[in-house]
């Protein structure tokens, strides 16, 4: 049977809430040319009645990273920019676990009570985003379910039940399939959907297509990006499509398996977070091409332009050793260009060409290609880390005898150790050290596909031998459709805008009081200029969730500043007194002025990063 965990943890609506603020902190409505801070509007279930922790407070700014714009019109069939947009995002929690969110952003009418309170022109529209939130990387089923909800809402034919009843049934009743054992079938109105996850013995679940990655970057650029990620550089992806930023980020994280990305991971960074690019520690972030970065220092940042197949950086990325590079490049080319490569290969050695190459020569990109691409990179790791298990030494601080490993490789390849700069840097990364720690975990060791592949290769077996030879047909679990009390057959529910969920009396009273204060203030002083929010008044006017989101942004901001100051402090000359420096004084000020201790803990992180880098 399926586990008690659910695929859909929350359904959330974000957009223009009753407390309107511009992105720069100004309260109130300041015209349609201004961008506004997105807020939580609705969700199911309510945080107090859920099996899971509440959605992260920064979710609205992440799903609408450019902010909320106000429009005078809705959908123009001749203007693509007015069309609804569907895209995934990924958030990372403090413990490194990921939250997967499927989003649809669209223009929706602004509520009449907000229009009246803020004196916004009537018949105005604003950006709104509906989302499914999950800890399971079931990208496709999250997207399919969300798109069906959206279509049902705005279909002229309407839906057979109230929309929020359909949403609550899906969120409350669709279980997460047991890996490799279950297939869950469920319906949204008359649309049948299914979900299943691969066995634990297979490569980690990746419910995405790797085609966008190989379409955006040629083979050499793909290998260059892969190397930069493996060596834990600062990576900034640029694209004018949010979907592309997320899919490429996720794809490259899967291609470095069995290594895990250990650092800051923000596939879509909100527009006002551009300053985070200055962070001196490793990160992987994605930024919309339309956001200006002219004020940001890009020294050392690996900028990957996905629209123009371009990678720029001021620092050299050491190349992968020739033998492994040649293997990786050749195998990827065979997969991407089977018609051309297979013909040449047949002329050379027809007899040894695998059946798979012949089968894929006429196929368009599909799940088989995704699997083969991931297997190519796993085979790369099997080669470049050949014999690594013989050099694991828990008596050493790092748990690995790097010098002996490099010397052994030098003898095997007849290459000097000095020429192995890429490998030397790789085995010093946090990703590699984390992998060694996981090797000591019994469960990780049992499912270690890298070790299985190296052993299979040593026995002369096919790489496919590491996977189960037979997978039983999954058990079908059907989720019955909901029966809504009082629902009459043939009765259809139609909507002109995305409906609001039923509010509690407390929520309704709070909304009315907020809008009454706004309306009263605008009537009393109609010409009074908006007041910029400062520390005290801002904290009083924000809800607990908004305060939490503000704190998340403040934490990241303080840590970025501290990291930069710490690095500059380390670079002071021998004749300069660090205790009288600007850097030291600013660090002290950040720590002393911060009652919550964010500065102190952030400084400790800086020192820890430095210790790791010099060990």
CATH number at residue 251: 3.40.50.11500
In a shared domain, residues 194 and 215: no
Same-domain status, 28 and 115:
yes
- Is residue 297 domain-shared with residue 340, that is, in the same domain? no
Task: Establish if 513 belongs to a structural domain.
Answer: no
The parts of the chain modelled with pLDDT lower than 50 are 1-3, 339-362, 486, 523-541, 593-595, 611, 614-615
Identify the pLDDT of residue 505: 85
Token couple for 67: 């902010």
Measured distance CA(318)–CA(429) in Å, rounded: 14
- Considering the domain architecture, whether residues 45 and 113 belong to the same structural domain is answered as yes
Confidence (pLDDT) at 585: 55
In this structure, is residue 473 part of a structural domain?
no
Q: In the block, which residue shows the tokens 């880390």?
A: 385
CA angle 74, 75, 76 (to 5 degrees): 125
Contact assessment for residue 597 and residue 555, using Cβ atoms and an 8 Å cutoff: no
Looking at the structure, do residues 138 and 192 belong to the same domain, yes or no?
A: yes
Query: Does residue 552 share a domain with residue 429?
Result: no
Are 23 and 61 part of one and the same domain? yes
Residue of 275, 298, 281, 297 whose CA lies nearest to 232: 281
Give the three-state DSSP class for 177.
coil
Q: Which of 411, 438, 459 is the last residue of a domain?
A: 459
Question: Which pair of tokens denotes residue 378?
Answer: 């796993």
Domain span including residue 414: 334-346+355-459
Q: Is residue 70 classed exposed, middle or buried when 0-12, 13-18 and 19+ CB atoms within 10 A define those classes?
A: buried
Beta carbons of 268 and 100 less than 8 angstroms apart: no
C-alpha distances in Å from residue 31, one per residue of 16, 69, 118, 545: 14, 10, 10, 26
Specify whether 185 is located in the same domain as 249. Answer: no
Quick check: is 139 in a domain?
A: yes
| Residue 251 in domain | yes
DSSP 8-class letter at 187: E
Q: Is residue 328 part of a domain?
A: no
Alpha-carbon span 589 to 575, nearest angstrom: 24
How far, CA to CA in Å, does 458 sit from each of 201, 206, 605? Answer: 20, 28, 42
pLDDT at 346: 38
Question: Is 361 within a domain?
Answer: yes
Do 37 and 183 reside in the same domain of the chain? yes
Is residue 9 a contact partner of residue 135, using CB atoms and an 8 Å limit?
yes
Same domain assignment for residues 85 and 56: yes
Helix (H, G, I), strand (E, B) or coil at 543: coil
Report the number of distinct structural domains present in the chain.
Answer: 4
Q: Write down the residue that tokens 């880098």 correspond to.
A: 613
CA 198 to chain centre: 21
CB-based contacts of 408: which residues, under 8 Å, 6+ apart? 387, 390, 391
**256 occurs within a structural domain:** yes
Indicate if the alpha-carbon torsion angle 297, 300, 301, 302 is positive or negative: positive
For 546, the 3-state DSSP assignment is helix
As a whole number of angstroms, the distance between CA 582 and CA 523 comes to 49
Is residue 138 domain-shared with residue 32, that is, in the same domain?
Answer: yes
Distance between CA atoms of residues 333 and 533, nearest Å: 55
In a domain, 252, yes or no: yes
Q: Say if residues 66 and 89 touch (Cβ distance below 8 Å).
A: no
Specify whether 168 is located in the same domain as 22: yes
């Amino acid at each position: 049977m399926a586990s008690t965990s659910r695929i859909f943890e929350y359904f959330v609506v974000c957009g223009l809430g009753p407390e309107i603020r511009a992105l720069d902190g100004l309260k109130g409505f300041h015209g349609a040319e201004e961008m506004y801070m997105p807020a939580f509007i609705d969700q199911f279930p309510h945080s107090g009645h859920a099996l899971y922790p509440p959605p992260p407070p920064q979710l609205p700014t992440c799903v609408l990273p450019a902010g909320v714009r106000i429009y005078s019109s809705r959908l123009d069939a001749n203007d693509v920019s007015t069309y609804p947009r569907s895209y995934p995002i990924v958030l990372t929690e403090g413990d490194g676990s990921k939250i997967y969110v499927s989003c649809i952003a669209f223009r929706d009418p602004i509520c009449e009570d907000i229009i009246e309170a803020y004196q916004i022109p009537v018949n105005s529209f604003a950006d709104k985003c509906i989302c499914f939130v999950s800890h399971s990387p079931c990208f496709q089923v999250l997207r399919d379910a969300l798109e069906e909800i959206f279509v049902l809402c705005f279909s002229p034919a309407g839906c057979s039940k109230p929309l929020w009843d359909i949403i609550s049934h899906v969120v409350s009743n669709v279980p997460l399939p047991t890996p490799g054992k279950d297939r869950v079938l469920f319906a949204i109105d008359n649309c049948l959907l299914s979900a299943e996850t691969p066995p634990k013995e297979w490569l980690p679940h990746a419910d995405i297509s790797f085609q966008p990655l190989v379409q955006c970057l040629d083979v050499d650029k793909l290998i260059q990006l892969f190397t930069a990620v493996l060596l834990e550089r600062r990576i900034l992806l640029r694209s004018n499509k949010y979907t592309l930023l997320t899919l490429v980020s996720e794809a490259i994280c899967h291609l470095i398996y069995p290594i895990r990305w250990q650092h800051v991971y923000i596939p879509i960074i909100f527009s006002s977070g551009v300053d985070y690019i200055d962070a001196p520690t490793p990160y992987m972030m994605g930024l919309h091409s339309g956001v200006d970065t002219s004020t940001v220092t890009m020294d050392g940042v690996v900028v990957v332009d996905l629209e123009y197949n371009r990678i720029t950086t001021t620092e050299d990325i050491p190349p992968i050793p020739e033998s492994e590079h040649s293997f990786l490049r050749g195998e990827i080319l065979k997969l991407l260009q089977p018609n051309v490569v297979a013909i040449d290969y047949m002329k050379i050695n027809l007899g040894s060409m695998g059946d798979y190459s012949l089968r894929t020569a006429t196929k368009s990109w599909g799940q088989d290609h995704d699997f083969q691409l991931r297997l190519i990179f796993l085979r790369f790791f099997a080669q470049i880390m050949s014999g690594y298990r013989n050099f694991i030494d828990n008596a050493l601080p790092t748990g690995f005898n790097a010098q002996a490993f490099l010397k052994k490789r030098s003898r095997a390849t007849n290459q000097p150790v000095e020429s192995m700069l890429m490998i030397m840097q790789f085995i010093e990364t946090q990703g590699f050290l984390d992998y060694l720690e996981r090797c000591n975990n019994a469960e990780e060791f049992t499912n270690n596909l890298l070790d299985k592949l190296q052993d299979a290769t040593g026995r002369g077996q096919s790489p496919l031998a590491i996977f189960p030879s037979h997978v039983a047909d999954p058990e079908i679990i059907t989720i019955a459709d909901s029966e809504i009390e009082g629902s009459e057959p043939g009765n259809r529910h139609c909507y002109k805008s995305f409906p609001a969920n039923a509010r509690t009396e407390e929520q309704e009273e709070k909304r009315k009081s907020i809008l009454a204060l706004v309306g009263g203030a605008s009537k009393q002083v109609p010409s009074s200029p908006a007041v910029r929010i400062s520390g005290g008044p801002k904290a009083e006017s924000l809800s607990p969730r908004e305060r939490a989101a503000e704190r998340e942004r403040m934490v990241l901001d303080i840590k970025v500043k501290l990291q930069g100051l710490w690095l500059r402090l380390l670079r002071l000359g021998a004749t300069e007194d660090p205790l009288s420096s600007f850097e030291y004084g600013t660090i002290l000020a950040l720590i002393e002025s911060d009652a919550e201790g964010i500065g102190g803990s952030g400084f400790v992180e800086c020192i820890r990063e430095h210790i790791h880098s010099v060990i």
